[in-house]
Structure 1
């Protein structure tokens, strides 16, 4: 597999501005001074991505109480994200990165192995950005199931 960019704790979080499910622009810089969990997922309304999004939804109060905001990013179009938000009762912003530039900046898009084959796609990844805009956690190739529980443990939430 070809080498792709990976971020590490201590790196500055690449800034971005992306549309949310309602068409509003959301920028990472809007959250400066707060801790932000940014997670990248392959496709809204698929089984694994639904499980992961619902886990974030179900744990959002505890994450928010501990000072963390959650942002989900996928290559889905705004309309698909809006339907996903409505269908699953999601209560945090989902952002559309159709050109995958933000995913590439975070190393969350590239070659991966699926079912024994090397493919190019979204690498399920989670990043925690501290209030100064620096990455405190960089988690690549996470599993959809159980990931939020592990993240809460790592963040002591």
Structure 2
């Protein structure tokens, strides 16, 4: 009986020892699975991070690309071009004005373009030319006219309200405004000013502030006059 008991105990000890040996092996397999899952997650996270970096680089590159130049309107006047002979517009009194004839008669013609009569920015621009009118016309011998898509009636009101000394031309179809290169598409007008000498375009300033328009035009006329002395 004692021999059998010792044999059973020895068998149990052996089985227990083998079980203990198997446990590390199972743990090792489990650890490998966990490690595999972690590695997979880390790889995915790395791939996402790389994708974000690539996108950021692409976005940065696209922002750094130079802006495309604005498309020129067909038939648009450039420096050195003459005013077309057939440009005839109405002024605030509904009187027909041939722009080329006016420019040749004036010798130096300043045309400032504004989006809409009696609006804040356009009023500042018009008043600026009003305040510089004596120096431009009497001292520098230039002629000043304003131009917009407004009707003769709207132009006349603008003149009366702001005590303007010069004529305002009407271009409701914006045909001349487009030829000058200051038509906003699909519709609208870009604030600008132009200076013609004997009917030839000498100065072209498109998209300017009201103050830059009249101050810049004055300085540019001074330069033109100084060249002829």
TM-score (norm 1): 0.86
One of 110, 118, 131 as aligned partner of 1:45: 118
Unaligned segments of structure 2, at least 5 residues: 1-67, 224-229
Map Cα deviations across residues 101-138 of structure 1 (whole Å, 9 max, x no partner).
Answer: 11111111034xxxxxxx7420111111101x111101
TM-score (norm 2): 0.61
Q: How far 1:142 sits from its partner (Å)?
A: 1.1
Which residue of structure 1 lines up, in the alignment, with residue 191 of structure 2? 124
| Residues 1:55 and 2:128 aligned together | yes
Partner Cα distance (2:84, 2:195) in 1: 12
Map Cα deviations across residues 68-124 of structure 1 (whole Å, 9 max, x no partner).
Answer: 10111111111111111111111101011011111111111034xxxxxxx742011
Which residue of structure 1 lines up, in the alignment, with residue 157 of structure 2? 83
One of 82, 87, 91 as aligned partner of 1:12: 82
**RMSD over aligned Cα, in angstroms?**
1.8
CA gap 1:146/1:140 in 2 versus in 1, 3 angstroms: closer
Unaligned segments of structure 1, at least 5 residues: 112-118
Higher Cα Rg: structure 1 or 2? 2
Partner Cα distance (2:135, 2:84) in 1: 26
Which residue of structure 2 lines up, in the alignment, with residue 108 of structure 1? 182
| Moved segments of 4+, more than 4 Å | none
Structure 1 or 2: more helix by fraction: 2
**Bigger relative CO (Cα 8 Å, ≥ 6 apart):** 1
Aligned residues, how many?
149
Which residue of structure 2 lines up, in the alignment, with residue 115 of structure 1? none
Partner Cα distance (2:195, 2:93) in 1: 24
One of 186, 192, 200 as aligned partner of 1:134: 200
Structure 1 or 2: more strand by fraction: 1
Q: How far 1:8 sits from its partner (Å)?
A: 2.6
Paired residue secondary structure (1:14): coil
CA gap 1:70/1:30 in 2 versus in 1, 3 angstroms: same
Partner Cα distance (1:120, 1:82) in 2: 23
